[in-house]
Amino acid sequence: MKCHAGNSGTTAAAPATSMHGPPANMFDTVPGYEGTVAGGGGGYLPPPMPSVPMPVPEQAPSPPDWHIPSISEDRARQAFATYVSSKCCYSSAPVREGVITNMESFNTYRYRLETFMESRSTEWSQEPYTGQPVDAGVQPTPGPWQIAAQPPAFFQECKQTIKVPYTSSVKNCHLCLGMGKTPCTTCAGAGNKVCRVCNGSGYRQSDDRCTHCNGRGRENCSSCSGSGSCQCDTCHGKRQLLVFINLNVKWSTEKDEFVAQDSSGLRGQKLEEVSGKELFKDAQNMVYPVRGFPDVSVAQASERFVRDHQVKYAQKSRMLQQRQTIELIAITKVNYMWKGKPNVYYVYGNEFKVNADYYPATCCCSVM
C-alpha cells in the first residue's frame, strides 16, 4: 500500500496554511472533538474499546531444535582473512602463519517483541475558501475511531491525514479581518520608503536632484507596488477560510530486544550488527509470552515485554499485530598462536563478522 493523504470514502485534506494565532471562537464546538485545538494540541485519542487482558496459551509451544551451529577452522580462517583485509594497517602475517589452538562455541539468544499499532489525533486546520463543500452540521460527525482508514502492511510505517466529514465551515479570515490584504511589512503600510540612491536627501553628491526619486527623497515600495498593503498570506486574498478538523492517523512499530548473557567475552553491543538463526517466530493480534524456553532469562524477558507493551501502548493506540522472535546468535571464540604468543578473535552471527580487540601486527595504527 502506498501511504498518502486521504482514504476512500473520505475527503483528502489539502495542505492547510499555517495557523497564526486564530481566536478560540473561530472554531465551532463539534461533539466528540471538544479537546481539538489548532496545531495538533489535542493529543492522541484512546481507542474506543478497552484494552483486553494479556492472552494466556492453552498449552506451551513445542520447543524447536536448539542446535548450536558450529564453524570449521577453514571458515574461521576465511572470516579472519576477510576482516584483516578490510583494515589498511593490518598485516596478513597472523592470518597466514597463526596456528589455531582451540575453538569454543557459545549459546547466545536474542529475543525481540514488535508491536504494530495505529494512533489517531485531531487538529483544527484551515485553508483559503474557494468554494469547497461546507458540511458542518449537515449530519452528525463520526467519531475519530469511526472514520475508515486503510492500514498498510503489518509493521510498515505510514501516515494519513483525513478531513473529518461534517466539520467544515466558512469563517472570515482572522488575520486580515476579511479584507484579503494586510499592511505591507516592508514599508509599514506607507507605500513608500527612503530612497536607496540618495538616502532620503533628494540630492546626489554633486548637489544635483536625485533622478531616481525626482527629489522627493522617497521611492515607491517594490513589495506592495506603492499600495501599502499585500495579499494576506493566510487566506491568499480570498477573505474567507474553510475551517475543518483533520484526523491524523499514524501506523508505527514499537520494538524491544533482549540479548541473553553469555560467557564468551565478546562485547554485547557487537551483536547488534548481526543476525542470527531464527529458532522461534510467533505473530498474532496479541502474542502470549514464550513458555518452556531452555534459557529462563529469555522467557522472563518475553513475559516482561508483553506486559509492558500492553501497559504502554494499549491505552492510547489500537494494537493491530504483535510479532515475537528468538534468534540464536552463534559465537565462536578462536584461540591461536603467532610468534609464540597467544591471541584471540571472535567469529559471530550469520554474517561471520570478526572482532579482535587486540591485533598483534599493525603497521601504523591500532584503530579497530
> How many Å from the N-terminal Cα to the C-terminal Cα in the chain?
42
For the chain, give the mean pLDDT. Answer: 86
* Per-residue pLDDT tens digits for 52-105: 555 555 444 555 555 566 789 999 999 999 999 999 889 999 999 999 999 998
Report phi then psi at 345, rounded to 5.
Answer: -145, 165
b/e sequence 46-60, b meaning 16+ C-beta within 10 Å: bbeeebeebeeeeee
Residue pair 108/243 in contact by the 8 Å Cβ criterion = no
32 or 99, higher pLDDT = 99
Compute, in degrees rounded to 10, the torsion defined by CA atoms 143, 144, 145, 148: 100
* Per-residue pLDDT tens digits for 308-323: 999 999 888 999 999 9
Q: Tell me which residue of 120, 118, 163 sits closest to 141, measured CA to CA.
A: 163
b/e sequence 259-271, b meaning 16+ C-beta within 10 Å: bbebebebeeebb
Residue pair 143/32 in contact by the 8 Å Cβ criterion = yes
pLDDT at 197: 82
Confidence of residue 155 (pLDDT cuts 50, 70, 90): very high
pLDDT at 247: 95
d(CA 287, CA 324): 8
Say yes or no to pLDDT of 16 above 90. Answer: no
For the segment 8-37, the average pLDDT, to the nearest whole number, is 66
pLDDT at 333: 94
Cell of 156: 510498515
* Per-residue pLDDT tens digits for 260-272: 987 888 887 888 8
Q: Tell me which residue of 50, 7, 267 sits closest to 149, measured CA to CA.
A: 7
Long-range contacts of 304-309, Cβ-Cβ distance < 8 Å, separation of 24 or more:
305/111, 305/113, 305/256, 305/258, 306/54, 306/113, 307/54, 308/256, 309/113, 309/115, 309/254, 309/256
pLDDT at 60: 44
Report phi then psi at 159, rounded to 5.
Answer: -135, 145
Spell out the domain ranges in the chain. Answer: 73-113+251-355
Say yes or no to pLDDT of 111 above 80. Answer: yes
- 0.85 surpassed by pTM: no
CB within 8 Å of 299: residues ≥ 6 apart = 289, 290, 291, 292, 293
341 or 215, higher pLDDT = 341
Which amino acid would we find at residue 200? G
For the segment 206-220, the average pLDDT, to the nearest whole number, is 84
pLDDT at 267: 82
Cell of 229: 498593503
Cell of 168: 467544515
Report phi then psi at 270, rounded to 5.
Answer: -65, -30
pLDDT at 5: 47
For the segment 30-40, the average pLDDT, to the nearest whole number, is 81
d(CA 110, CA 347): 17
82 or 191, higher pLDDT = 82
Say yes or no to pLDDT of 116 above 60. Answer: yes
Residue pair 264/335 in contact by the 8 Å Cβ criterion = no
| Bridge partners for 281 per DSSP | 325
Residue pair 329/110 in contact by the 8 Å Cβ criterion = yes
Of 42-46, 50-54, 244-248, least confident by mean pLDDT is: 50-54
